[in-house]
């Protein structure tokens, strides 16, 4: 895979009302890569990806995207640039139908011309959502809402998809499907930044990974290196 850094986060820092959540995080995602972000609860993974996606404004540091400084860009501008954050499933629009959720996802200038194609593709990938397209998202199961969140992200024609714990609350079979889907999206040319509790499966599909601890990157390497790293094995793989 080519490794021109598509996304670069440099020295990111963030505090919630004086509580320092991210101290100094630098990560990159190359074109076509799957990069995993591991860390214990509260390590700062979500805060980091929110800063990258423009949902939070970094207190310090910089974000570059496709050779451009995008530090402080709000999330709608990042989506327009091709960076889409898929939040956890319960953050879909509960009182809108599945179809309306998808329409909102596709309501971005960069994706408008591709709306019909994206819509078709998404319903093909998620036949279960096709069946439930006129149902309120809030009436779906947790796993189905997770699918809506990803489907909504796919509607924006992303070049980088940031997935925050996509397998959360899914049954083992659906977790399997989720990882297959991430691979498939990647094969279609979408770069992936993946926040996951499921370290084993994430590292298997990841080109590279970072471990965060107390708001800092403490370890980085290829997915393969991480799978055999003693610290990773002990802390995340239960070995």
Binding site for ligand ATP (CB under 6 A): 16, 19, 21, 39, 41-47
Helix (H, G, I), strand (E, B) or coil at 153: helix
- How far apart CA 199 and CA 233 sit, in angstroms, is 9
Would you say 109 and 150 are in contact if contact means Cβ atoms under 8 Å apart?
Answer: no
Q: Which is nearer to ligand ATP, 19 or 116 (CB)?
A: 19
CA dihedral 120, 126, 131, 137 (to 10 degrees): -100
Q: Which is nearer to ligand ATP, 108 or 211 (CB)?
A: 211
CA 157, 160, 162, 167 torsion-angle sign: positive
Q: Which is nearer to ligand ATP, 12 or 78 (CB)?
A: 12
Q: Which is nearer to ligand ATP, 41 or 187 (CB)?
A: 41
Question: Cβ 88 to ligand ATP, closest distance in Å?
Answer: 9
- In the numeric block, which tokens belong to residue 199? 């370290």
Q: How many CB atoms lie within 10 A of CB 34?
A: 25
Helix (H) or strand (E) holding 86: strand 83-86
Question: Cβ 46 to ligand ATP, closest distance in Å?
Answer: 3
Question: Cβ 102 to ligand ATP, closest distance in Å?
Answer: 26
Question: Cβ 121 to ligand ATP, closest distance in Å?
Answer: 30
């Amino acid at each position: 895979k080519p490794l021109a850094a598509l996304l670069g986060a440099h020295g990111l820092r963030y505090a919630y009302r004086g509580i320092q959540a991210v101290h100094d995080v630098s990560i990159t995602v190359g074109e076509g890569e799957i990069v995993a972000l591991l860390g214990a609860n509260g390590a700062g993974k979500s805060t980091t990806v929110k800063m990258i996606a423009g949902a939070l404004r970094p207190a310090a540091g910089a974000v570059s995207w496709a050779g451009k400084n995008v530090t402080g860009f709000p999330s709608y501008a990042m989506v327009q640039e091709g960076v889409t954050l898929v939040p956890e499933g319960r953050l879909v629009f509960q009182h809108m139908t599945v179809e309306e959720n998808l329409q909102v996802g596709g309501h971005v200038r960069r994706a408008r011309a591709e709306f019909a194609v994206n819509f078709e593709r998404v319903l093909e990938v998620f036949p279960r959502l096709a069946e439930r397209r006129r149902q309120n998202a809030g009436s779906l199961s947790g796993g189905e809402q997770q699918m809506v969140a990803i489907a909504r992200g796919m509607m924006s024609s992303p070049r980088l998809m940031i997935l925050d714990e996509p397998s959360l609350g899914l049954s083992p079979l659906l977790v399997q499907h989720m990882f297959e889907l991430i691979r498939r999206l990647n094969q279609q040319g979408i770069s992936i930044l993946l926040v996951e509790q499921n370290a084993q499966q994430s590292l298997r599909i990841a080109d590279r990974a970072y471990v965060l601890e107390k708001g800092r990157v403490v370890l980085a390497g290829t997915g393969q290196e991480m799978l055999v790293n003693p610290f990773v094995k002990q802390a995340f793989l239960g070995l």
